[in-house]
Amino acid sequence: MRRSPPFRLTRYFSITSLVGLVLVTIVLIGVYRTLTERHLVDHEGRANADLTRALANTLWGQYGDFVIGSVGRTRADLLADPRLAALRTDVLTRVSGLSVAKIKVYNVDGLTVFSSDEGQIGENKRDNDGFRAALSGTVASHITYRERFDAFEGVLNKRNLIASYVPLRPTPGGAAEGVVEVYSDVTDLLQRQSTAQWQVAAAVVGALSTLYLFLFMVVRKADGIISRQERERAAREEEVRHQAYHDALTGLPNRAYFAERLSEAISASTRHGHTGALMFIDLDRFKIVNDSLGHDAGDALLKAVSARIRGCLRDSDLLFRMGGDEFTAILAHIEAPEDATHVARRILEAVARPVRVHEHELVVGATIGIAVYPGDGEDADTVLKNADAAMYSAKDAGRGTHAFYRAEMNRRAMQRLTLETDLQKGFREGEFSLHYQPRLDTATQRVVALEALMRWHSPSRGLVLPGEFIGVMEDTGMMTIVGEWVLRSACTQIRRWLDAGVPALRVSVNVSSVQFQSPGFVPMVERVLSDSGVPPALVELELTESLLIGQPDPARATIEALKALGVRIAIDDFGTGYSALNYLRHFAVDYLKIDRSFVTDIATNARDRAVARSITELARALGIIVVAEGVETEAQADFFRGIHCGEMQGFLFGRPLPIEQVQRLLDSERSSGTSQGMGSVVA
């Protein structure tokens, strides 16, 4: 982004003001000079005219005939005339002491009949403009400068003179009978005027300079303010730009910046014939940390991990945070794909090292997909899509690894897309059903509840288990509608028992975190309960433990609201998250389902036994009933009986089955008065 250069107010002000100052001074001097000269010429012209009139008044009577009669005479003739010498004497006498330097007299023909410079007598001035103007009655004056000038008193040097041609009119208002040319010496006057002119100029320059200095200070102050505002604006712009292109948490460039840079990197590699790689890095198990320890811990973890990844890259490589727990790295120049492998291994190792966040020692991992360009795509979109596909395939192969893109990976992305479409269609067309798995009271060995588990009977795929589609339903937003359907179906089943007059069992329904966190969840449960009219105590909702710890306050409020409706609350898969046992005190839960991963090795693993025992003891103290999930063997069942665990669920007692089959088992259990047969029939 190009920015226009800042406006330098002081500089422009100084230059324009100085130019203005000089121009004003020059114009002022010029105008002053012209005006004073014009004034001088007018003034001297009038003085010369007065002088001429005075001379004419006194001398015309005596010399008028000489002038009038001079027409046609020669120079020699004139010089020989004694009146000329007399006229000279008279004129000199009358002008002595005045500033007059020279006087000439012309007759009407323009012949010089008299001049204080005798050499000029006899010359003809007939064609002179001044002479002609004077002859027609007008005084004509002009200023002139002479290096050398023949004056009355002799030769003068470097003189400024005003020459006036004045009509000689012996009778007032009569025609001119000759012309007098008077030169007055204005050298001194001009000199004084010139001095005054410079004094005025100096005063003006002084005044303007003072004004300039004053304004300069004001402008400089303004310029300082403008510059500071300009700098602040630029800094703000830079900050906004930085924010737009960077992730606030890690400080890494973001997705917006990524697209630009990857396109650049791909075209550079095509131009220069070298190879680059794009890594798509996704953190494993990050969501658990975020959900169970809260966003602060999640943020701290992301910061630490992003710094570690950055540390595995060269300075020339670029790392971006794409959002959530996804990062990309552009390795602008690699010699061979193995280079990318080395980098990927380094990153995986670095990320896998435990991270201390607050008092927790957290272990996450990463999965990396790599696309090499050119080859795995000609444009940024394709390369990114392929690196992403490679990452998903690495995840499928068992997280914590890396994979290079292969063409068939896009097929998997396609498969997922088809799965999404099939799920939506399947749900619309009624391909989903619920299976029910019995839960037994440990002491009485009787079935006390059933867990409703979703099944998808896809015409093309066969029976599909929830593990394959729950995640997709959560991602696509289907889960809320499907979840409501599950609850409604379970309640319908309870209703049937009630309507048939057979003993109704409690039914537990799994609730996804997406569902639980949606604002319409509690009202939905209330609606379904009232629609079906089942006693709320027969409905149990299974929540995952991470929900309680991620955002404890809203979770507590939701649980309270559910409890107020009268339903039972269970914590499912307990022990798989980061939850601490003492959290349980804060939530009004009824059941705690110990995750199958603890149950599996319970017969052989002393640590698992210790955990199960302490969970049970604590729960009992809090009035919470513990349920052991996934009980498959008698040994496991014996252990839980031994620690007085409340309920048990597992293949040992019955697999999840369609309601008709479960019903048959329940009926036979009732007729035999025990559940013992159940396990043997179903398992």
Q: Which residues bind ligand C2E (CB under 6 A)?
A: 437, 453-454, 465-467, 470, 483, 486, 510-512, 542, 572-573, 596, 629-632, 649-651, 656
Q: How far is the CB of 490 from Mg ion (least distance, A)?
A: 12
**Rounded Cα–Cα distance for residues 313 and 330 (Å):** 10
346 vs 655, which CB is nearer to ligand C2E? Answer: 655
| 591-594 vs 568-574, strand pairing mode | parallel
Report the alpha-carbon angle 440-549-395, nearest 5: 85
- Give whichever of 305 and 511 is closer to Mg ion, judged by the CB atom: 511
Query: What residue 453 binds from ligand C2E, Mg ion, none (CB within 5 to 8 A, per partner kind)?
Result: ligand C2E
Minimum distance from CB of 440 to Mg ion (Å)?
15
Beta carbon of residue 573, minimum distance to ligand C2E (angstroms, whole number)? 5
* Residue 160 or 512 having the CB closest to ligand C2E: 512
374 binds, among Mg ion, ligand C2E, none (CB under 5 to 8 A by kind): none
Give, in order, the Cα–Cα distances in Å from 180 to each of 183, 224, 250, 662: 10, 70, 104, 150
Residue in 438, 454, 506 with CA at minimum distance from that of residue 679: 438
Nearer to ligand C2E by Cβ, of 115 and 546: the residue is 546
Binding residues for Mg ion, rule: CB under 5 A, are: 510, 542, 572-573, 629
Q: Please report how close the Cβ of residue 582 comes to ligand C2E at its closest, in angstroms.
A: 23
Minimum separation from the CB atom of position 481 to ligand C2E (A): 12
The option from ligand C2E, Mg ion, none interacting with 217 (CB < 5 to 8 A, set by class) reads: none
> With respect to ligand C2E, which residue has the nearer C-beta, 298 or 630?
630
Q: From CA 260, how far away is CA 194, in angstroms rounded?
A: 73
Which of residues 130 and 650 has its CB atom nearest to ligand C2E in the complex?
650
Picked from ligand C2E, Mg ion, none, the partner binding residue 552 (CB below 5 to 8 A depending on kind) is none
Residue 572 vs 669, nearer CB to Mg ion: 572
Tell the smallest beta-carbon distance from residue 341 to ligand C2E (Å): 36
CB-nearer residue toward Mg ion: 289 or 631: 631
| Smallest distance from ligand C2E to CB 579, Å | 16
Q: Which does 465 bind (CB under 5 to 8 A by kind): ligand C2E, Mg ion, none?
A: ligand C2E
Spatial separation of the C-alpha atoms in residues 663 and 536, rounded to whole Å: 21
Pair of tokens at residue 85: 């010498």
Asked if residue 631 lies in contact with residue 653, where contact means CB atoms within 8 angstroms, the answer is yes
Strand partners, 391: none
- Number of Cβ within 10 Å of residue 545's Cβ equals 25
Comparing CB distances to Mg ion, the nearer of 212 and 432 is 432
Least Cα distance to 599 among 550, 653, 557 occurs for 653
- Indicate which of ligand C2E, Mg ion, none lies near residue 154 (CB less than 5 to 8 Å, by partner kind): none
Q: What count of Cα atoms within 13 Å lies in the side-chain half-sphere of residue 119?
A: 5
Q: What minimum distance in Å lies between the beta carbon of 539 and Mg ion? A: 14
State the amino acid at position 575 in one-letter form: G
| Shortest distance, position 570 Cβ to Mg ion, whole Å | 8
Residue corresponding to tokens 């712009």: 237
Provide the minimum distance between the beta carbon of 651 and ligand C2E in the complex, in angstroms, as a whole number: 4
Identify which of 646, 575, 650, 648 has the alpha carbon closest to the alpha carbon of residue 608: 575
Q: Which one of Mg ion, ligand C2E, none is in contact with 122 (Cβ closer than 5 to 8 A by kind)?
A: none
Which of Mg ion, ligand C2E, none binds 116 (CB below 5-8 Å, type-dependent)? Answer: none
CA nearest neighbour of 506 among 541, 544, 530 = 541
Contact partner at residue 454 from ligand C2E, Mg ion, none, CB < 5 to 8 Å by partner kind: ligand C2E
By beta-carbon proximity to ligand C2E, the closer residue of 426 and 630 is: 630
Are β-strands 326-334 and 355-357 bridged in parallel, bridged antiparallel, or unpaired?
unpaired
Q: How far apart, in Å, are the Cα atoms of 238 and each of 3, 231, 232, 250?
A: 11, 10, 10, 18
Helix-then-strand count for the chain, H and E: 22, 22
Task: Give me the amino acid identity at 38.
Answer: R
Residue located via tokens 């991990």 = 305
**Binding partner selected for residue 253 from Mg ion, ligand C2E, none, CB under the kind-specific 5 to 8 Å limit:** none
Q: What are the residues whose beta carbons fall under 8 Å from the beta carbon of 509, sequence distance 6 or more?
A: 452, 486, 487, 490, 539, 540, 541, 542
